[in-house]
């Protein structure tokens, strides 16, 4: 029954062959003496190790675990240690790609620094668009280098396409059309209702609202 299962799973078969090759290389007699041949063998072993790491990424670790000492468990198929951090991601070339989960703040405790409060801070460059997700627990921060304040837990998402940057957090959506030049003053901000009509006419903004008059979105027309 077990051999039948092995035969049906090409990944298991490939991994078994690879692990056998690694065993063979690691026990090779040339390793008993230092020299060019031994160094070459070590090099081959490193390459096989890399191949093993990549093959193991395809493993779903659903064939059970075996004890390997020090209280650790290894996958029966690929030999990965349970709970170990993986250094690589394997994504399908076609179809939806999933990296991570929608993580949220994990604690109500206030941490001493932003770094200590970080749950996730990860970036990806996807076909030329940059995406960063930062999830933070409550933490202490210095405002203007003096005032000590507590920053609320938040999930910050930043998307950057060319010069345009879109930032999303729990209570805000910010859109910036061009980066601020060094030493340039920060831009002014105002509610649309506060601005004179003359000024509003120069802004290529359309406010989107539904039948009940509820604000549902914003369109910005970019000049050519
Ligand atoms: Zn596995």
| Model confidence pLDDT, tens digit, residues 57-105 | 888 888 899 999 888 999 999 989 998 887 888 888 898 998 988 889 9
The predicted structure's pLDDT at residue 9 = 80
CA angle 6, 45, 25 (to 5 degrees): 70
Q: Which residue has the tokens 């003096």?
A: 146
Ligand 1 centre and the CA of 150: distance in Å? Answer: 43
Global pTM reads: 0.72
Ligand 1 centre and the CA of 40: distance in Å? Answer: 29
Among candidates 192, 194, 195, 176, which has minimal Cα distance to 184? 176
Q: Is the pLDDT of residue 168 over 70?
A: yes
Average pLDDT rounded to a whole number, residues 129-140: 96
The percentage of the chain sitting over the pLDDT mark of 70, rounded to a whole number, equals: 96
Ligand 1 centre and the CA of 80: distance in Å? Answer: 6
Among candidates 151, 147, 139, 132, which has minimal Cα distance to 115? 139
The predicted structure's pLDDT at residue 222 = 83
The predicted structure's pLDDT at residue 153 = 94
Strand partners, 149: 141
Ligand 1 centre and the CA of 159: distance in Å? Answer: 34
The percentage of the chain sitting over the pLDDT mark of 90, rounded to a whole number, equals: 68
List Cβ<8 Å contacts ≥24 apart for 215-223: 218/175, 220/175, 220/177, 222/177
Ligand 1 centre and the CA of 81: distance in Å? Answer: 8
**DSSP secondary-structure letter at 115?**
H
Which residues keep their CB under 5 angstroms from ion ligand 1?
59, 61, 75, 77-78, 80
Ligand 1 centre and the CA of 14: distance in Å? Answer: 12
Ligand 1 centre and the CA of 71: distance in Å? Answer: 17
Ligand 1 centre and the CA of 131: distance in Å? Answer: 30
């Amino acid at each position: 029954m077990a051999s039948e299962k092995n035969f049906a799973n090409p990944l298991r078969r490939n991994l078994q062959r690879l692990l056998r090759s690694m065993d063979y290389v690691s026990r090779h007699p040339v390793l008993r003496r230092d020299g060019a041949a031994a160094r070459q063998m070590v090099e081959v072993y490193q390459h096989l190790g890399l191949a093993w790491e990549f093959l193991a990424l395809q493993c779903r670790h659903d064939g059970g675990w075996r004890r390997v000492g020090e209280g650790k468990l290894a996958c029966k198929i690929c030999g990965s240690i349970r709970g170990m951090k993986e250094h690589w991601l394997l994504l399908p070339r076609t179809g939806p790609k999933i990296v991570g989960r929608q993580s949220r703040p994990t604690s109500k405790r206030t941490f001493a620094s932003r770094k200590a409060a970080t749950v996730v801070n990860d970036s990806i460059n996807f076909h030329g668009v940059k995406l960063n997700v930062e999830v933070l627990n409550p933490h202490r921060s210095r405002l203007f280098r003096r005032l000590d304040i507590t920053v609320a837990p938040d999930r910050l998402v930043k998307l950057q396409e060319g010069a345009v940057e879109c930032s999303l957090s729990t209570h805000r959506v910010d859109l910036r059309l061009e980066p601020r030049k060094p030493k340039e003053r920060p831009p002014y901000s105002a509610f649309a209702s506060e601005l004179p009509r003359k000024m509003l006419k120069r802004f290529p903004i359309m406010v989107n609202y539904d039948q009940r008059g509820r604000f549902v979105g914003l369109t910005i027309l970019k000049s050519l």
